Amino acid sequence: MLTIKDLSVKFPTRFGDFTAIEDVDMTIKPGEIHGLVGESGAGKSTVGAAVIGLLQSPGYVANGTLTLGDTDLRNLSPAEAHKVRGGRISMIFQDPQTSLNPLMTIERQLIETIQTHSTVSESEARNRAVDLLEEIGIKNATERIKAYPHQFSGGMRQRVVIALAISTDPELVIADEPTTALDVAVQSQVLDLIQRLAKERQIAFMLITHDIGVIAQVADRVTVMRKGRVMETGVTAQVLGKPQHHYTQQLMDSVPPLDRKIDRFRVPEADNTIASNGAMAENWLLEGSQHARTGLSLTGLSVKFAGPRTSIFRKPPPYVALDDVTLNIKPGSIMGLVGESGSGKSTLAKAITGLVTPSSGTMELGDDVLPYGKSRSRQHPSRQLTQMVFQDPYSSLNSRHRIGDILTEPLWFYGFVKDEQEREKLAASMLSLVGMQPDAISKYPHQFSGGQRQRIAVARALLARPRFLICDEPTSALDVSIQAEILNLLKDLQAKFGLTILFISHNLAVVRQMADDTAVLRSGKIEEVGETNALYTAPQADYTKSLLDLTPVMPTTWQT
Amino acid sequence: MVYFILKRMVQSVFVMLAVAFLAFSLFRFVGDPITQMTGVETSVKDQERLREELGLNDPFIYQFTRFTGDLLKGDFGFSYRTRQPVAKMIASRIPATLELGVVALIISLLVGIPAGVYTALKPRGVLTQTILMTTLVGVSIPTFVIGIMLIFIFGVQLGWLPTFGRGGTVQIGGWESSLFSVDGWRALLLPAITLGVYQLTLTMRLVRAEMTEVMRSDYIRFAMARGVPTASLHYRHALANTMVPVITIIGLQFGGVIAFSIVTESVFQWPGMGLLFLESIRFVDIPVMGVYLVVIAFFFVLVNLVVDLLYVAIDPRLRIKDVS
Amino acid sequence: MIAFVKKYEGLWLFVHSPAAIIAAIVAALIFVGAVFAPWIALVNPYDLASFSLFDGLLPPAWEDGANPKFILGTDDQGRDMISSILYGARLSLVIGLSALSIAAVLGVGLGLAAGYYGGRFDAIVMRIADVQLALPAILTALLIDGIARGILPASIQQDLRVAVLTLAIALSLWVNFARTARASTFLQMNKEYVQAAIMMGQRPTRVMFVHILPNILGPLLVIMTVDLASAILLEATLSFLGIGLPADSPSLGTLIRIGMQFLLSGEWWILWIPTLFLVALVVSINILGDFLRDVFNPRLR
């Protein structure tokens, strides 16, 4: 059993010690899956790293006790600590693509780990490794064990990682975001595996994640953290179903439900004084677009990329990113587009915006046919009418440009406002409209948080007076409470200005909250399109059904 | 994998063609080959006849093709200065330069890689800071100054080692080698160290940078979390992954070794290709300059092809197809 | 306080790095001395009338038989060592900086365009860079020097030496800039702010120079410092090999070559003092380059 008491971890900096976590208490019993949940900066991973003794230098445990069974983890010599790692405590990392040594076979990595912690012969270790791989769900393990990591798919690779982590029969496994890099189908398999291992082998799991759905599905107990402190801890159904702490309640309110649509998320709203400054921008936008609701229709759109070349003589088979996609987005509506990674969602957005050249099909914005990628001139009107909000607010704003320059660029570029001061005024007003202080205009992007940057990105898109807005995973880089704020903002703006929006996301629950219609994309093909409510309640395609089934949800009884 | 190697070969051929073109342009357009080959007493008529005989009035492409063909056959033309065949002149100089370069490269790897590993694993140690500062001074001292200093200390002040020439060499099947006699090694030591120092500092800094990156990677942290023994962690896991990029750069550095061998050979009067090249520049001996270029580029391309093969041997991702 | 320090992190690191401070002071002193050489030097080494053979071979001021007027002694012609070094450093820096500017403009321009357009243009630029790599810096410089000897009539060769040397060094350095700029541009091309600019329909030149260039300045600045050191070393090496500058307009490298004649005699200062200056200058620049690398790539710290 792992017991953590009064744990504090500090990182010395030039300005004195920075306290990463403070007074953290937690116990994990054998066979228990203990969820550790919180937003970025909560210190979840630091707890895990402190327990296994791998804090990033120069961090150190400043206070508290860490005991595993009878062993005081803080009083181990470096050699003893090294023995405990792997032997009694093990760890699973987030990204299976990077957590295996690419130059060694699975076999060598497994045998090395097993032989490190028990004195067995090589063939004995190999037998154990093969058994383990089979237990973990890798078929034909005697053959597959000879493969290198790159020969496994992402989900299989995460299984191998888990096999490595439990190959020495540890008492405790720290799983740091083990499913965040995986698609839902694979995620559900990995979560099942973790549950099975906890039950059958009585391994204690510390499951660190930001995804409350995952916690709800597999964790026996949960600890909620915020800014390095524990907010609330207890049985999962208790904490998430009847949250006692204000922060947990707020967090639960921000989680988009999969099984119904809510009008607005209950999150703190920007105050009204800011919003009133946005009148100028609001009027300016309305005068540009009030009569112009513009739809987009795609007919038989296909995009092919050159495949990787492996022979000089044969032309490589093309990689089909989009296959005969037909989609009609009604003027003034929001079309949701869901799909797993690699399904072609982003390629679709790039084809519409002209960054990628389709091989066949037509794209029409209103009544105008959009020319293909390279043949679309720089002056083409669609370049102004179509705007985009990107996924990563840290890379979508040029970090070397002032916010004012970023925001006024579309105004002079499209020739909307000739006067420079007028442009700055309008940009400042637009900032108010998206819920930011107008003085942001003289600052630089690095002075803002992710959520604030995403608001700025929305303001930039609006300053081009678009009629068609593409939101490509606009909230997947954000914490769930910030996501709720941005979704509220997008809903408000859409209602005010009648924008047509293509809303792309891998998160089915988010799309349900946003979209009037939803399309499901898989390997470049549209599996199903329909009115959102109907599609979620009565999916037609098997693929949609399985997606909906596998997405972790909270039991309906918990909803407040 | 085959495609990868073939692609690299095609690129190498391209580089060689470009260098051959450079050499040809040198020969054809820098000065007039005919006035170089003939003396003042040759009549204009004879000159014209020679020009026609040598095909210098033929179309440009035709001349270049013939030039490349001659190179492939090993016919490198004649020196303007000594009137000897260039092929013979260069061939007699190759062993000296190659031995110098290879010994220097080995010195730089034998010292540079361990030093790089050490400084990466103990970034805050006193020894690390000392090594880093020393190498910074090392890259800042010009090769010729290092040579002069070594000559001054070991040749002039202490009188331990010879300061110029190759000393005693042994003939092995036409290859004149310094490696089989004490005398030869004594003469080789100072030039090889001089040439190796600069490469050594580069190698060390590169290994350090790559190793530091690798030590932060997820698979190393995962290996630590599994309690993999430290020695295996550092050498089997981390160093192996470090070598993939390092090998590439070492291949590219070979060019640097050859280039700086010109300087080293000049300081130590080492009778290699570099010294020959310097003389040919001083006397505007274009055929020798051109052929030297081609030979150097050939070695460079060859080394980099070997590097590519090593690359394939080390990295299974290039050898074995991805299943998924 | 913390916010302030973060904003000026580079400055903070600088103030707390004694090596960088000393390097900056040394580099600045040599630089200022070189710029103001005509005003502060005791004699003009180019002007035969300003020095006298009678002052020849005087040792530095702290040795026996010195003339306190010549603090670091004189050479065999009677030239004050300090004056020769200042004028030499002046020439070395002029050549180094001009070569660097040419290489930077050429290399960054080509690298940016290669990274931006990709495809065939990129392939061509990179193949040219490959060829250039097969012929390393010293070789390129020597080659251009050789070509210049072959093409230019002897009468103007002397006058154009500085130009030829500058061009030779510039051509051997551009690849560094091109490769770094290209690699950084490739990284930036995937960033969404660049895609946003392209989608808007902005001109390629604007995307390259207004959007991408400011974001890749960090690594380029590091290359620039390191290459300034290389350029100075290269110039010294070429002059040492006797194909750089003639003896009557000596750079630091030429001074060292002249000093080599005194390696075996007692006049050590004629060789070692210019050498010390050259090494001090290059070490300082390299320390500053290392410092900049740490500032721009905190992961290696």
* pLDDT number for residue C61: 67
In angstroms, what separates the C-alpha of C108 from chain A's closest C-alpha? 18
Verify whether the Cβ–Cβ distance C263 to B280 is below 8 Å: no
In angstroms, what separates the C-alpha of C139 from chain B's closest C-alpha? 6
pLDDT in tens, B278-295: 888 877 788 888 888 888
The residue of chain A nearest to residue B232, with distances taken between CA atoms, is: A112
Distance CA A374, CA C198 (A): 11
* Rama region for A238: left / alpha / beta (φ>0; ψ in -120 to 50; rest): alpha
Nearest to A54 among B219, B225, B315 (CB): B225
Instruction: Supply the range of the domain harboring residue A501.
Output: 272-308+315-367+420-551
Verify whether the Cβ–Cβ distance C2 to A15 is below 8 Å: yes
The residue of chain B nearest to residue C293, with distances taken between CA atoms, is: B209
Closest among B79, B69, B17 to B277, alpha carbons compared: B79
Verify whether the Cβ–Cβ distance B227 to A113 is below 8 Å: yes
In angstroms, what separates the C-alpha of B214 from chain A's closest C-alpha? 10
Q: Which residues contact A194 (CB under 8 A, 6 or more apart)?
A: A33, A162, A175, A178, A205, A207, A218
- pTM for the model stands at 0.84
* pLDDT number for residue B319: 75
Nearest to A383 among C1, C195, C200 (CB): C200
Nearest to B281 among C142, C229, C263 (CB): C142
* DSSP secondary structure letters along A515-539: -SEEEEEETTEEEEEEEHHHHHHS-
The residue of chain C nearest to residue A14, with distances taken between CA atoms, is: C2
In angstroms, what separates the C-alpha of A157 from chain B's closest C-alpha? 11
DSSP A74: G
In B160-189, the residues whose Cβ lies within 8 Å of chain C are none
**Residue of C12, C15, C200 best to disrupt the A interface, most CBs of A under 10 A:** C200
Verify whether the Cβ–Cβ distance A52 to B225 is below 8 Å: yes
Verify whether the Cβ–Cβ distance A103 to B6 is below 8 Å: no
Residues B89-95 have a mean pLDDT of: 85
The answer to whether position A348 is within a domain reads: yes
Distance CA A457, CA A441 (A): 13
* pLDDT number for residue B322: 52
Domain count for chain A: 1
pLDDT in tens, B252-288: 777 778 778 888 998 888 888 888 888 888 777 888 8
* pLDDT number for residue A200: 92
The residue of chain B nearest to residue C131, with distances taken between CA atoms, is: B15
The answer to whether position A284 is within a domain reads: yes
Judge whether A311 is closer than 8 Å to chain B, CB to CB.
yes
**Of B104-108, B150-154, C142-146, where does mean pLDDT reach its minimum?**
C142-146
* pLDDT number for residue B114: 92
Distance CA A403, CA A458 (A): 12
The answer to whether position A175 is within a domain reads: no
Q: How many CB pairs under 8 A join B and C?
A: 126
* pLDDT number for residue A427: 94
Closest among B262, B74, B97 to B176, alpha carbons compared: B97
Cα Rg of chain C (Å, integer): 23
Burial (CB count within 10 angstroms: exposed 0-12, middle 13-18, buried 19+), residue A415: exposed
The answer to whether position A255 is within a domain reads: no
How many percent of chain B have pLDDT more than 90?
Answer: 5
* pLDDT number for residue A290: 55
Which residues from A are below 8 Å from C214, CB to CB? 398, 400-401
The answer to whether position A145 is within a domain reads: no
Distance CA A274, CA C168 (A): 61
Average pLDDT of chain C, as a whole number: 81
* pLDDT number for residue C48: 67
The residue of chain A nearest to residue B242, with distances taken between CA atoms, is: A103
Write the CATH number for A435: 3.40.50.300
In angstroms, what separates the C-alpha of B180 from chain C's closest C-alpha? 31
Q: Which residues contact C231 (CB under 8 A, 6 or more apart)?
A: C95, C96, C97, C99, C100, C103, C169, C173
Tokens (6 digits) for B114? 């361990």
End-to-end CA distance of chain B: 17
Higher local confidence (pLDDT), B49 or A310: B49
The residue of chain B nearest to residue C19, with distances taken between CA atoms, is: B133
In A350-369, the residues whose Cβ lies within 8 Å of chain C are 353-355
Distance CA B315, CA C6 (A): 41
Give me the sign of the Cα torsion angle A267, A270, A275, A276. Answer: positive
The answer to whether position A462 is within a domain reads: yes
Verify whether the Cβ–Cβ distance B227 to A150 is below 8 Å: no
Tokens (6 digits) for B107? 């010195």
- pLDDT tens per residue across all 560 residues of chain A: 899 999 999 998 777 888 999 999 999 999 999 999 998 888 999 999 999 998 888 889 999 999 998 899 998 998 899 889 988 999 998 888 889 999 999 999 999 999 998 889 999 999 999 999 998 888 888 989 999 998 888 888 999 999 999 998 899 999 999 988 888 888 998 999 999 999 999 999 999 999 999 999 999 999 999 999 999 999 999 999 889 999 999 899 899 988 888 888 887 766 556 667 788 888 888 886 655 788 999 999 999 988 776 666 677 788 889 999 999 999 999 999 999 888 999 999 999 999 999 999 999 998 889 999 888 999 899 999 999 999 999 899 998 899 999 999 999 999 999 999 999 999 999 999 998 988 899 999 988 999 999 999 999 999 999 999 999 999 988 999 999 999 999 999 999 888 999 999 999 999 999 999 999 999 999 999 999 999 999 999 999 999 999 988 877 666 55
Q: Note the ipTM here.
A: 0.85
* pLDDT number for residue C245: 66
Tokens (6 digits) for C185? 């541009």
Closest among A83, A87, A91, A12 to A50, alpha carbons compared: A91
The answer to whether position A432 is within a domain reads: yes
Distance CA C69, CA B7 (A): 67
In A367-426, the residues whose Cβ lies within 8 Å of chain B are none
Q: Which residues contact A215 (CB under 8 A, 6 or more apart)?
A: A35, A37, A207, A209, A222, A236, A240
What are the C-alpha distances in Å from A153 to residues A149, A188, A531, C181? 9, 16, 34, 34
Which residues from A are below 8 Å from C193, CB to CB? 395-398
Verify whether the Cβ–Cβ distance A102 to B315 is below 8 Å: yes
Q: How many CB pairs under 8 A join A and B?
A: 103
Q: Which domains are present in chain B? A: 34-75 (no CATH), 86-140+196-319 (1.10.3720.10)
Residues B174-199 have a mean pLDDT of: 82
List of long-range contacts for A403-406, beta carbons under 8 Å, 24+ apart = A403/A431, A403/A440, A403/A441, A403/A442, A403/A443, A403/A444, A403/A445, A403/A456, A404/A441, A404/A442, A406/A445, A406/A456, A406/A460
Distance CA B46, CA B40 (A): 11
Judge whether C5 is closer than 8 Å to chain A, CB to CB.
yes
Verify whether the Cβ–Cβ distance B322 to A164 is below 8 Å: no
- Given a cut of 50, the residues of chain C with pLDDT beneath it are 1-5, 299-301
The answer to whether position A94 is within a domain reads: no
